[in-house]
Amino acid sequence: MNEKILERIQWLRETLKKHNEAYYVMDSPRVTDSEYDALMNELKTLEKENPQWDDPDSPSHRVGGAVLSAFKKVRHTIPLLSLDNAYNAEELRDFDRRVTKEASARVAYVVEYKIDGLTVALRYENGRLYRAATRGDGYEGEEITENIRTIRTVPHRIEVSEPVEVRGEVYMPKDGFVRLNEQQELDGKEPFANPRNAAAGSIRQLDSRIAAKRPLAIFIFDFIAGTESLDLDTQHAAFEYLHKLGFETAPSRRFEDIEGVIAYCNEMISARHNLPFEIDGLVVKVDDFETRAVLGTTSKSPRWAIAYKFPAEMAKTVINEIRVQVGRTGVITPLAEFTPVKVAGSVIGRATLHNQDYIDEKDIRVGDTVFVQKAGDVIPAVVRVELSERPEGTQRFVLPKDCPVCGTPTVRREGEAALRCVNPLCPAKLRRLLIHFVSRTAMNIDGLGEALIDGLIEAGYLDSIADIYALKEHAEALKQMEGYGDRSVEKLLTAIEESKNNDYYRLISGFGIPLIGEKAAKTLAAHFPTLDALIAASQEELVAINEIGDKMADSLVRYFESDDVLKTVERLRDYGLNFSTEQVAETGGVLSGKTLVATGTLEHYSREGIKAAIEACGGKAAGSVSKKTDYVVVGENAGSKAEKAEALGVEILDEDGFEALIGTTEHRDKETF
């Protein structure tokens, strides 16, 4: 039996590694997300049950888990030097003249993307990833091994037995950056200023589970040490070998002279906007390693490389107005409206000013002449004010003390930069909530766009999300609205009716609970098979879930304590929305309304298996014992949970007792011999 389990674990590890490479490196996925998740969940369960076969190289370590109290300092074996910069063609030619003079010969160059991310060093010993560290000051950095392990394209093993160190850049792709900021705003959090800040902040999380959720990637672009036995003599050859070892490398070009380099640099000034990631320049390196050794280094930088920095792509414009908008979580965001200008290939006319601290730091005022750019070539941003052109009489801008929509006094919570309207009935919050509720990440109701929502609010038909399901009572009035006829109204009402049968997690997401996005909603729906069970969940029960933290749990509890929320829930129930998982609907619900905790090693069930069995019978599988627990299922080495159950008077069941309770053995997922 043990041999079969080990074989299965090894098969799962190799299969998942191949799927990772296909998805993240080759951009050609072989399985669906659900199939991948099923394999990963099986592997995690088997590894948890068989810790003697733990392997740090396992794909399961990509999901994070280690929580550090602080980062350890790491002394780099070889200093990670910075590069001198060149800003134009003449400075590149000066660099070439210095190189050819010192080398006493013409040289070839390799040109790489200058990724705008966080520089890291990865050390491998006996072929295994041993340690990863940030660049720091070049001589000493911080150990981030657990976080680096979560990046899918970082190989945990390479086919080199000698100690090897490589240098790379952790970055965040543009589309991932946009998605992350959308989620930040959805959760009522401050968005990141640019992809570099997002990448750096993500890789330096003490909790690697947070890093694992962020869309991080890495390019490896050099060997730092350990190449003596690899017989590599050029940068071009090093790139090929890095790729062969399984590292993802950025595209590079080789040129026989500096004029070819200059032409390429000029070409990339505009072409860089088409890349899926942000680069702020190009790195020019002498290709030949022997020539590099002759050229040597200064105390700060190598003499054989230089960074060509793209000219800053900013535009000058004038701020005509600063207005504020209220988000669905009540966050009040200032927005600068300026004379439209073209930046990075598109025309922009507005940019978020984030919060009062951002405005004060840059002293941004209406009437100011400012420079704007796109952070990460994506997000419009005001970079700085041209104070010499400030008109007389401008006034410092201050966010309102009262909500501009409902007049409720605004609040700035301790430790937050955001200002909020805390009125749950604020019309602006209602509008944003309605827009969110019908969106693709929530109830996905086609035909109910922003313009129609605005019209329905103004007409008095929408005062809450529950009113969406009463729109059929106003069908004739809807047909009279501009742009809507019989057919479009019928399609809209059909989409609304069909949304009642959506997966239960979509409703949780649609509520717009602060800090609870689509992914958290799926997690909650998996642990609480009915909305009623979720509403009744305690703070303790919520934080026992692996992906639900204290702040998220607190937000959930506070949300469902609201009488207005509970009234809305009852209206949605009356309209017939799905309030439960399919599992409960398909079974007799023997455990409906019951909370069970499983502890210890069970003979016929894995950890995931007993949880699935409980939920399949309509019950809730909790992670901790409380007064609300109905049964505790115990196996060998049950430990403190069984003791707590006994102290609280909670009924304790062994496996036979559990199966007698549910009346079946069909949910077993372990074989016994």
Per-residue pLDDT band at 23 (split at 50, 70, 90): low
Per-residue pLDDT of 539-555, as tens digits, reads 999 988 877 888 889 88
Same domain, 37 and 158: no
Q: How many Cα atoms within 13 Å fall on the side-chain side of residue 391?
A: 11
Instruction: Please indicate whether residue 650 or residue 260 has the higher confidence score (pLDDT).
Output: 260
Is 210 contained in some domain? yes
- pLDDT score, position 312: 67
Same domain, 462 and 383: no
The arithmetic mean of pLDDT across residues 183-191, rounded, is 70
Q: Is 224 helix (H, G, I), strand (E, B) or coil?
A: strand
Same domain, 127 and 211: yes
Per-residue pLDDT of 362-416, as tens digits, reads 999 999 999 998 765 557 889 899 999 999 999 999 999 999 988 999 998 777 7
Q: Is 462 helix (H, G, I), strand (E, B) or coil?
A: coil
Same domain, 235 and 272: yes
Among 333, 359, 356, smallest CA distance to 188 is for 333
Do the bridges between strand 651-653 and strand 631-634 make them parallel or antiparallel, or are there none, so unpaired? parallel
- pLDDT score, position 522: 87
Same domain, 284 and 341: no
Q: What is the CATH number of the domain that holds 633?
A: 3.40.50.10190
Among 48, 32, 37, 42, smallest CA distance to 12 is for 42
The arithmetic mean of pLDDT across residues 245-257, rounded, is 91
Is 527 contained in some domain? no
Is 411 contained in some domain? no
Is 510 contained in some domain? no
Do the bridges between strand 305-309 and strand 279-286 make them parallel or antiparallel, or are there none, so unpaired? antiparallel
Q: How many Cα atoms within 13 Å fall on the side-chain side of residue 300?
A: 4
Is 509 contained in some domain? no
Residue holding tokens 């299922």?
Answer: 633
In this predicted structure, the answer to whether residue 587 has a pLDDT above a threshold of 60 is no
Same domain, 491 and 397: no
Q: What is the CATH number of the domain that holds 178?
A: 3.30.470.30
- Please say whether the beta carbons of 352 and 182 come within 8 A: no
Averaged pLDDT of the chain: 85
Residue environment code for 353-382, b if the CB has 16+ CB neighbours within 10 A, otherwise e: bbbbebbeeeebbbebbbbbbbbbbbbbbb
Model-level pTM greater than 0.75? Answer: no
Do the bridges between strand 252-255 and strand 305-309 make them parallel or antiparallel, or are there none, so unpaired? unpaired
Is 541 contained in some domain? no
From 445, 468, 499, give the residue that closes a domain: 499
Instruction: Please indicate whether residue 589 or residue 137 has the higher confidence score (pLDDT).
Output: 137
Among 195, 193, 199, smallest CA distance to 362 is for 193
Same domain, 130 and 172: yes
Q: Structural domain of residue 7, as residue ranges?
A: 2-63
Same domain, 336 and 253: no
- Selecting among 4, 17, 18, 114, the annotated active-site residue is 114
Is 417 contained in some domain? no
Same domain, 222 and 162: yes
Per-residue pLDDT of 198-239, as tens digits, reads 888 888 887 777 888 888 999 998 898 776 767 788 998 999
Catalytic, 670? Answer no
Same domain, 347 and 256: no
Per-residue pLDDT of 76-100, as tens digits, reads 888 888 888 898 899 999 999 999 9
- pLDDT score, position 673: 37
In this predicted structure, the answer to whether residue 275 has a pLDDT above a threshold of 70 is yes
- Please say whether the beta carbons of 174 and 376 come within 8 A: yes
Same domain, 257 and 213: yes
Per-residue pLDDT of 286-330, as tens digits, reads 999 999 999 998 877 899 999 998 876 788 999 999 999 888 778
The maximal CA–CA distance of the chain, rounded, in angstroms, is: 88
From 12, 33, 63, give the residue that closes a domain: 63
Per-residue pLDDT of 113-152, as tens digits, reads 999 889 999 999 999 999 999 988 788 888 999 899 989 8
Q: What is the CATH number of the domain that holds 337?
A: 2.40.50.140
- For 70, phi then psi, to 5°, come to -170, 160
- For 53, phi then psi, to 5°, come to -110, 25
Same domain, 363 and 400: yes
- Please say whether the beta carbons of 595 and 633 come within 8 A: no
Is 356 contained in some domain? yes
- Please say whether the beta carbons of 198 and 174 come within 8 A: no
Share of the chain above pLDDT 70, in %: 92
